[in-house]
Amino acid sequence: MTNRRNARPGLWTVRGPMSQRNYWLFAAAGLLIPLLAWWGLASAELVSKVFMPGPAEVWSRVVKWSTEDNLLGDTFISIYRVTTGWALSAVIALPLGLLIGSFRPVQALLEPLTDFIRYMPAVAFIPLVMLWVGIDESSKISIIFIGTFFQMVLMVAEDVRRVPVAQVEAAQTMGADRREMVELVLLQSAKPALLDTMRITMGWAWTYLVVAEIVAANSGLGYSILRAQRYLQTDKIFAGIIIIGLIGLITDQIFRLAHRKAFPWMYRKS
Amino acid sequence: MDVPQIVSATAARVEPKVSIRGLSKIFGEGPGATIALQDIDLDVGDHTFVTLVGASGCGKSTLLRIIAGLEFHTGGEIVANGQAVTGPGADRAMVFQQYSLFPWLNVAQNIRFSRKLRANKGDFTSAEVEAASGRADTLLNLMGLQAAEKSFPNQLSGGMQQRVAIARALMPRPPILLMDEPFGALDAQTREVMHDLIQYVFLLEKSTIVFVTHDVEEAIYLGQRVVVMAPRPGRIDSIYDVPLPLQRSQDMKLSPEFVRLKGEIVNRIRETSGMKTDLELLDKLCGQLKI
């Protein structure tokens, strides 16, 4: 028998451990390799710059956008629209999902309907939204709401349903009434999952931005992308998409941080 | 002075804590229906420790859950604490096999949860609040949890988690304590410690305990009466009174009475369960091997 001195599991062990250093190494590679590939592809000039602008062109467009045009304003109005649409949807989806996940009659009443509407494309609602809500800010927020809300309700309900039955029954045998079951057990137990759902649906809300800014907008990142399309400013389209991606990445990290701060018991191990 | 006390004590003992008559439970309807429990008659006296034992599928957990009010029987009667059981209630505390602790609450908060429920309803005097914190401290001490008071469940071993679950169930001084294979997920050494601990709790708290297990040794070591159940349909096969002193100790497991009773019950379970055909098959195979 050979004596293996360094018997640590290898990097490619299924579900194996990974050091913090290696994690960041791989994460950086995952971001840098596509960037280099993009840069290489663009500078090789195999295709016209109109189809594939390089990182340099995109960067100079970002600079131009922020100096000659209103990049900051576009960014903020888009963040405002997405966040408001998402928050509005959360305010309604959280209590509704909690009820669907807690009470069977509510589930039977609302879940099939929600499932049905969920499959309807948000874009198709644009004419209706214009007709009913008008063409001001609220119409953009409405589109983001429609795109986010129905998915969110179902995910919230599922989070509540996933509370372990032993926790529910333990509370019942301690004499908890219906209200206490929902408030002190189901809601508390589901909270970490709910915050994750909020994080994920925030990402979805962003994907509806361009669609929302089709509706009579004259500002915003999505609107800028649409207008760039009209003038064939591919570098601006690239810039807009990348900025949206970065905002998403930052929001995601904020949510993850909030999760650690709000639920320290999940991260504490003996 | 002594005489009326004895009379009232006996009277209290005559009235059973749990009384089950002709109880049945059928899962499902129509041709797919299965009889989980059939014609169950059982009395659990005040301050007695009854264990339910049997092969899987004999309905022992279902019976316990019916007493808890977590499942509903389809026939017969069940009375606990002098009232017909219609649903779960604080008078019948339950300890589950695992995962029943609230992971977002620390040990002390978990134990005090039932107090929080009552405080919520506002039926508390300040004296009761005082008594409650004393009670929680007593239970923390009793269960050896003082050092873990501020820990969260996911920081504790399985054995420690079950200690918390037991303390939490005992907190409101429930007249009846129901335990559904509470030590089933623990290793053998931890189980032994937990057996002596629950024995101690039983003697100290003067509880009435109904304890479900599939482990015959556990059933005899803990129970004053062992109820053997049999499957298809789930029913009570036989009831054994354990001929051991009230206070148990580990060395009793080697006593002739214990060993004899264990053999008897193990045989009984073997005969009444589907294991019999398996064992016959095994015998046949061993015969062919000529060993």
Of A169, A184, A269, the CB nearest to B155: A269
Is residue A155 predicted with pLDDT exceeding 50? yes
Lowest mean pLDDT, pick from B72-81, B93-102, B133-142: B133-142
Which of B153, B81, B157 is CA-nearest to residue B111?
Answer: B153
Query: Which residues in chain B (139-198) have CB-CB distances under 8 A to chain A?
Result: 151-152, 154-156, 165, 168-169, 172, 178
Give the CA radius of gyration of chain B: 21
Is residue B8 predicted with pLDDT exceeding 50? no
Give the CA radius of gyration of chain A: 24
- Cross-chain residue pair A164–B99, CB shorter than 8 Å: yes
> What pLDDT score was predicted for residue A3?
55
Percent of chain B residues topping a pLDDT of 70:
90
> What pLDDT score was predicted for residue B7?
41
Residues B26 and B35: beta-carbon distance below 8 Å: yes
Q: What is the mean pLDDT of residues B3-27?
A: 68
Contacts of B117 in chain A (CB under 8 A): 171, 174-176, 180, 184
Among A162, A168, A169, A174, the residue to mutate for chain B (most B Cβ within 10 A): A174
Is residue A243 predicted with pLDDT exceeding 80? yes
> What pLDDT score was predicted for residue B118?
75
- Cross-chain residue pair B93–A185, CB shorter than 8 Å: no
> What pLDDT score was predicted for residue B275?
67
Residues B45 and B13: beta-carbon distance below 8 Å: yes
- Cross-chain residue pair A173–B92, CB shorter than 8 Å: yes
Tokens (6 digits) for B166:
């037991």
Q: What is the mean pLDDT of residues A235-263?
A: 95
> What pLDDT score was predicted for residue B1?
37
- Cross-chain residue pair B94–A170, CB shorter than 8 Å: yes
Among A165, A172, A173, A261, the residue to mutate for chain B (most B Cβ within 10 A): A173
Decide if B70 touches A, using CB distance below 8 A. yes
Is B279 or B264 the better-scoring residue by pLDDT? B264
Quick one: closest CA in A to B69, which residue? A173
Decide if B118 touches A, using CB distance below 8 A. yes
Of A166, A174, A263, the CB nearest to B113: A174
Distance from CA of B23 to the nearest CA of A (A): 21
- Cross-chain residue pair B93–A173, CB shorter than 8 Å: yes
- Cross-chain residue pair B103–A265, CB shorter than 8 Å: yes
pLDDT tens for A47-84 read: 788 888 999 999 999 999 999 999 999 999 999 999 99
Percent of chain B residues topping a pLDDT of 90:
64
What is the C-alpha separation between B162 and A170, in angstroms, rounded?
A: 13
Average pLDDT, chain B: 88
Is residue B84 predicted with pLDDT exceeding 90? yes
ipTM of the complex: 0.86
Is A1 or B253 the better-scoring residue by pLDDT? B253
pLDDT tens for B132-183 read: 778 888 899 988 899 999 999 999 999 999 999 999 999 989 999 999 999 9
Give the number of C-alpha atoms closer than 13 A to the C-alpha of residue A58, restricted to the C-beta side.
19
Q: How confident is the model at residue B123 (pLDDT cuts 50, 70, 90)?
A: low
> What pLDDT score was predicted for residue B6?
39
Decide if B117 touches A, using CB distance below 8 A. yes
Q: How confident is the model at residue B283 (pLDDT cuts 50, 70, 90)?
A: confident
Distance from CA of B96 to the nearest CA of A (A): 7
Query: What's the pTM value of the predicted model, to 2 decimals?
Result: 0.86
What is the C-alpha separation between B246 and B239, in angstroms, rounded?
A: 18
Q: B88-108 b/e with 16+ CB inside 10 Å = b?
A: bbbbbbbbbbbebbbbbbbbb
